[in-house]
Structure 1
Amino acid sequence: MELFHKSGSSGSRNGRRIASFAAIAATLALVATGCAATSDDASSTDGAGGDSPGSIVFLPKQLNNPYTDVVLGGGDAASEEIGFEASTLGPLEASASAQVPFIEQATQEGANVIVIAANDPDAVGPSLQQAREAGAKIVAFDSDTNPDFRDVFVSQVVAKDVALVQLEMLHEQLGDAGGDIAILSATATATNQNEWITFMEEELASNPDYANLKLVTTVYGDDDADKSFKEAQGLMQSYPDLKGIISPTTVGIAAAAKYLSTSDYKGKVALTGLGLPNEMREFVKDGTVTEFALWDPAQLGYVAAYAGQALVDGTITGAEGDTFTAGDLGEKTVGADGIVVVGPPTKFNADNIDDYDF
């Protein structure tokens, strides 16, 4: 099963129907959930509970995000293999509290498993605790919750490795000359982003190889393309001598590349971070970006679904040393703090970017 080469089109999802939350707010089914409906939110209308062998609800940071679409595609593939009924709930905008009503909805609908990428590690805590008390198993993926509120966390890679590979790429591109650099992140509360940034800061402070790199600021685009574009533009206005930008978010790096590609800074300011090959291909080929990295997003959703099944079946409890089989990806082991690591990141550049389609 080569999830890595599958297209991330949301149209390929199995059995997921996503509709405007505002549009279905008028239905009796949604009224019964007690969720506050706004035009900024969206949810699926597939029942999370019911008579299926099991139900799994995916709750990403936000919907209508290309990276999220690829992750959910992997989750759908695994859910179909397992025999679980999959659905998606979530906001259109990433914010600390936006996921809370959707957790409550999934709980009320009797979800067996809730798979969540937390916008804030603590804001979702009370709602997740209620879901657990109602019998749901909680799998965090992509961005962790407070460990007290979930059973396992499926991590893309070892967090420090993600941080280090981005610094390595930027250092290679800037050479020994170094210079001022900046970070364009997602939201200020995103657990994974903050962990990576902390590792970067520590490495910059302690590794003599990076003595010539000076981190001047970190800005936040909130995983919104327009805001991220403006933040990239603002960085160059505030720091005209900036030599490099690291954007550890697929939305941010694509927006920054879009800005740089039509600016006087193209080819003069190095940009790297975490991106989707299909979004970054044109910027690699036109010389705006030399190299960036990412893991296989589909595998993240795929392993998270199988972890949920293993929790429901009692194969694992989330204890260190527990093992389970994640379909075609084989055996996975629960590590310290209930963390399951999917695999290492891959670097993309002009030599290999056409080998990938997601």
Structure 2
Amino acid sequence: MRRPSKTLFLGVALLLSAVVGLGSCSSALHTPTVDSGEAPIRIAFVPKVAGIAYFDAMNAGGLEAAKRLGAQWITRGPTTVDPAAQTAILHDLVAQHVDVIAVAPNDPRALAPAIADARAKGVHVLTTDTDAPETPREVFVNQASPEDVGTTLVDALMAKTGGSGEFAIVSCGRTAVNLNAWISVEQTYTAQRYPKARRVETVYAGEDTTTATELAKQVLDRHPDLTGLIGECTTSAPGVAQAVRDQQKIGRVFTVGTGTPQTMKPYLLDGSCSMSVLWNVESLGYLTAWAAQQLVEGRSFGPRNNVSPELPAVRYDARSKTMLLGEPLLITQDNVDQFKY
């Protein structure tokens, strides 16, 4: 489903943002007024789940890109991480004849038929934040390489534990490609770089912070000699820190994770979290919207892409069809207030 090319940046556009409830899903809409009378490209963003700070920040970045690009940005987030909920949303968006779907798959295999159906019906599909590499998605917008995320998390934790001791991981979805890739890197890197350290357990909390806290407490009870916890996703990072705080183990059990800055701020300040390893989440949303428009307009990606003044040289790997936002950000109590999300 291809539309005529439009000017990349519109001089003046009147913007309307609305939040529309659709069934059990969260929905946000940005509609520009276009002087040419040409219908704007419609980009539908489907996060893993609605209502968490991380995907809210991605959504904000996508809205900003839509403002600059003259596109229409729709957000449809499921209220649970049940793969069937994402599948239903994709089918509905195809029925609405959107131009492109940008999805962060909870379960790539479960979502594969819906992605294939969308492509067969002329809807462009890209993955963002986490991939579905065995599907006909056209590009993956990746926040950082698995090697960079995994090694940075381990290094941050080992800096506090002296490069030794027992640690555990509290992840989110069992089938999330990005999280599993990071965990694989962490396991290999720990064995090679820190032979005196040992991962004793990995547990999965879905996308729920309360569950992550309870699971982390259970891990602490099962492993009284534990020295570290990694919160592998933005909901489990505050969960593991809260568990250490609740069990009064600050300074004895150290935590790191991939939490959003303002969510992690109280834990960074009291020491229940040592460091958050993330990336500019709003920029990831911006890059997602930009890549979506490129697909619809039939533009190819180069090895380096000038996306915006803030993203002047985004790399693209043609072999894996992956765009890479950049290297991880290290967020501590000293710089946490530089980030507003």
* Contact 1:104/1:127, CA 8 A, preserved across alignment: yes
Q: Compared with structure 1, are the counterparts of its residues 256 and 45 closer, same or farther at alpha carbon in structure 2 (3 Å cutoff)?
A: closer
What letter matches 1:53 in structure 2? P
* Contact 2:26/2:79, CA 8 A, preserved across alignment: no
How high is the sequence identity, in percent, across the aligned residues?
29
Residue 326 of structure 1, aligned match among 307, 311, 315: 307
2:6 is matched with: none
CA distance in 2 between counterparts of 1:46 and 1:179 reads 48
TM-score normalised per structure 1: 0.85
Displacement of 1:238: 1.3
What letter matches 1:236 in structure 2? L
Displacement of 1:44: 2.3
Residue 83 of structure 1, aligned match among 32, 47, 70: 70
2:186 is matched with: 200
Matched, 1:337 2:317: no
2:137 is matched with: 150
Q: Compared with structure 1, are the counterparts of its residues 61 and 45 closer, same or farther at alpha carbon in structure 2 (3 Å cutoff)?
A: closer
Within 5 Å, which residues of 2 pair with 1:202-281?
A: 202-205=188-191, 207=192, 209-281=193-265
Displacement of 1:355: 2.4
Displacement of 1:164: 0.4
Cα deviation per residue 1:222-258 (whole Å; 9 max; x = unaligned)? 0112211111111111112111001121110111212
CA distance in 1 between counterparts of 2:88 and 2:273 reads 39
Cα deviation per residue 1:40-90 (whole Å; 9 max; x = unaligned)? x31427599xx7321000000000011110011101111121111111112
RMSD of aligned Cα (Å) = 2.0
Which runs of 5 or more residues in structure 1 are unaligned?
1-12, 22-40
Say how many residue pairs are matched: 320
Matched, 1:350 2:336: no
CA distance in 2 between counterparts of 1:76 and 1:47 reads 7
CA distance in 2 between counterparts of 1:200 and 1:125 reads 27
Q: In structure 1, the residue corresponding to 2:162 is in which secondary structure? A: helix
TM-score normalised per structure 2: 0.89
* Contact 1:266/1:288, CA 8 A, preserved across alignment: yes
Cα deviation per residue 1:84-141 (whole Å; 9 max; x = unaligned)? 1111112111133320000001100011010000101111111111111221111110
Q: Indicate the structure with greater helix content.
A: 1
Q: Compared with structure 1, are the counterparts of its residues 273 and 165 closer, same or farther at alpha carbon in structure 2 (3 Å cutoff)?
A: same
What letter matches 1:261 in structure 2? R
CA distance in 2 between counterparts of 1:45 and 1:74 reads 13
Q: In structure 2, the residue corresponding to 1:151 is in which secondary structure? A: coil
* Contact 1:60/1:68, CA 8 A, preserved across alignment: yes
1:189 is matched with: 175
Moved over 3 A (4+): 45-48, 321-325
2:17 is matched with: 15
Which runs of 5 or more residues in structure 2 are unaligned?
1-14, 32-37
CA distance in 2 between counterparts of 1:231 and 1:56 reads 37
What letter matches 2:314 in structure 1? K
CA distance in 1 between counterparts of 2:59 and 2:28 reads 16
Q: Compared with structure 1, are the counterparts of its residues 16 and 184 closer, same or farther at alpha carbon in structure 2 (3 Å cutoff)?
A: farther
Q: Compared with structure 1, are the counterparts of its residues 14 and 152 closer, same or farther at alpha carbon in structure 2 (3 Å cutoff)?
A: farther
